Amino acid sequence: MRQKVSLMVLFILTLIVASSFSPSCLAYNTGSLDGELTDEISELVESGDIPSLQICVVSGNQKWIKGFGEQTDEDTVFLVGSIQKVFVSISLLQLYEDGLIGLDDDVNYYMPFSIRHPEYPDTPITIRMLLSHRSGLGGTLPSEFAYDWIDDNPVEWTRSLSEDLINVSLVDWLEMNLDEEGSFYSPSYWVREPGTGYSYSNNGYKILMCILVDVVECVWDGFYWEV
Q: Which CATH architecture has domain 83-221?
A: 3-Layer(aba) Sandwich (3.40)
The predicted-structure confidence for 130-139, as pLDDT tens digits, reads as follows 999 999 999 8
pLDDT: is 189 or 26 the higher one? 189
pLDDT: is 114 or 141 the higher one? 114
The domain locations on the chain are: 10-69, 83-221
- CA distances from residue 29 to 25, 94, 110, 114, 162 in whole angstroms, order as listed: 10, 22, 36, 44, 48
Indicate the helix (H) or strand (E) that contains 205: helix 202-221
Radius of gyration of the chain (CA): 20
Compute the average pLDDT of residues 3-32.
43
The predicted-structure confidence for 51-86, as pLDDT tens digits, reads as follows 888 887 877 788 888 888 887 677 777 777 788 899
Helices (H), 60-201: 83-97, 127-131, 170-178
Closest Cα partner for 118 from 134, 136, 144, 106? 136
Bridge partners (DSSP) listed for residue 120: 117
The predicted-structure confidence for 175-222, as pLDDT tens digits, reads as follows 999 999 998 999 999 999 999 999 999 999 999 999 999 998 877 665
**Does the reported pTM lie above 0.85?**
no
Q: What is the mean pLDDT of the chain?
A: 79
Closest Cα partner for 85 from 178, 203, 176? 203
